Amino acid sequence: MSSLPVFVGLDYHQDSVQVCVMNQAGQMLTNRSLANDARGIDQVVRVYGTPQAAAVEACCGAANLGAELLERHHWPLQLAHPGYVARIKQSPDKTDFADARLLADLVRVGYLPKVWLAPEEIRRLRRLVRHRQQLVDRRRSVKLRMRALLRENRQRPPASINAWTKAWFAWLERDAELADDDRWIMDGHRSELRQLTLQIRAVEQRLAQRAENDAAMQRLMQFTGVGLITAATLRAEIGRFDRFDSGKQLARFCGVSPRNASSGQRQADAGLIKAGNPNLRMVLIELAHRLIHRMKGRWSKLAYKLLRQGKPRNVVVAAVANRWVRWLYHQMQPAALAA
């Protein structure tokens, strides 16, 4: 076992990991496939030296391996952004050998595009929040199929009945004129809709239990317009607010900052950046709508000021979301939480 510093790149797969080890001069000491086992990887790498820095691309399962190498074997491991790494590579060919070598070289020269390695507790919450969103998307799909079936049969409820209420379902069961096959399909949709609704409620109950023991979620739910789902999504996707250097950086991470499209003398924006998590951005846009239309205060005043200046409504909503996130950054700092 050597004490010389080495740099390690890991190309992760479910059954194996391609491991590349480099020395400080950039010489490749080994590049081979090993079993997906943190202990075995650590033993092989330490034959060549002590890991000075290591990297693995963020993907499904990579965070678990990274956390094990970090916590049990004390590796200085970093998660790499797969999109940026692919752009740096600039090659039409893809092999595990080349990918592991690129990661080792990037971490050696300090050019690795890093991603935050969330602790296990946050990763579990993230999976729970995303599972709920998947169930909500499936429920929306079922509702769209039910509406399409009614349109095909030219069935419309009375104008006094709102959709998806008890009265609407009663009309659907008693008065909607559907052929036998279409009625059978509709009954299947209704059964699926009931099951999805129960599953969503069960997930929300688990989120409520998590919130009881999470100080950050409790703090988030104290803000106007922020409920359980918004707080859980912010907590799961952002994790620690103090890992950002500024509110502007946080807003960019959340995907509510305008994308710069300037060139020469032309200064312009090109809509919101698309690098952020779509679910996180959606939750913040919905929150901005609530702050503007349902809550009276600084955010609705800001929105009406921008509207009077001739700004489009979608731009105004995004601007409110952006300003709110930048304000939230300061409210969620350790000093503010301790006050």
Burial per residue of 153-166, b for 16 or more beta-carbon CB atoms within 10 angstroms, e otherwise: eeeebeeeeeeeee
Q: Is 63 exposed, middle or buried (0-12, 13-18, 19+ CB in 10 A)?
A: buried
Residues 6 or more apart in contact with residue 247 via CB below 8 angstroms: 325, 326, 327, 328, 329, 330
Structure tokens at 109: 């020269």
- Report yes or no: 20 and 100 within 8 Å, Cβ to Cβ: yes
Q: Closest by alpha carbon to 338, among 267, 227, 238, 242?
A: 242
Which pair of tokens denotes residue 286?
């919905």
Q: Record the tokens describing residue 183, joined without a space.
A: 């009625």
Q: How far apart are CA 310 and CA 312, in angstroms?
A: 6
Nearest-angstrom CA–CA distance, 13 and 95: 12
Residues in the chain: 339
pLDDT score of 267: 58
Q: What confidence tier does 83 reach under pLDDT thresholds 50, 70, 90?
A: confident
Q: What structural domains does the chain harbor? A: 5-115 (3.30.420.10), 120-213 (no CATH), 219-338 (no CATH)
pLDDT band with cut points at 50, 70 and 90 for residue 279: very high
pLDDT tens string 253-278: 998 888 765 556 665 566 777 777 89
Pick the closest to residue 299 from 322, 317, 320, 283 (CA basis).
Answer: 320
Instruction: Give the whole-angstrom CA distance, residue 176 versus residue 178.
Output: 6
23 touches 51 (CB < 8 A): no
The pLDDT assigned to 84 comes to 84
Average predicted confidence (pLDDT) for the chain = 90
The more confident residue out of 333 and 144 is 144
The pLDDT score that the predictor gives to residue 269 is 64
Residue 3 or residue 53, greater confidence: 53
Is the distance from CB of 114 to CB of 78 less than 8 angstroms?
yes
Q: What pLDDT is recorded for position 263?
A: 58
Query: How far apart, in Å, are the Cα atoms of 242 and each of 93, 174, 321, 330, 331?
Result: 39, 56, 19, 9, 11
Do 282 and 273 contact (CB within 8 A), yes or no? Answer: no
Q: For residue range 290-303, list pLDDT tens digits in order.
A: 999 888 889 999 99
pLDDT given at position 140? 97
Q: Helix, strand or coil for residue 79? A: strand
pLDDT over threshold 60, residue 336: no
What does the pLDDT average to over 223-242?
Answer: 94
Q: Which residues pair with 78 in a beta bridge?
A: 55
Predicted pLDDT of residue 2: 66
* C-alpha span between 62 and 38 (Å, rounded): 11
The angle, 0 to 180 degrees and rounded to 10, between the axes of the packed helices 313-331 and 278-293 is 100
Q: What percent of the chain has pLDDT over 70?
A: 94
pLDDT at 210: 94
Confidence bin at 82 (pLDDT 50/70/90): confident
Pairing assessment for the beta strands 28-35 and 16-22 based on DSSP bridges: antiparallel
Per-residue confidence (pLDDT) for residue 296, from 0 to 100: 80
pLDDT in tens, 106-162: 999 999 888 888 899 999 999 999 999 999 999 999 999 999 999 999 999 999 999
Report whether pLDDT(339) > 60.
no
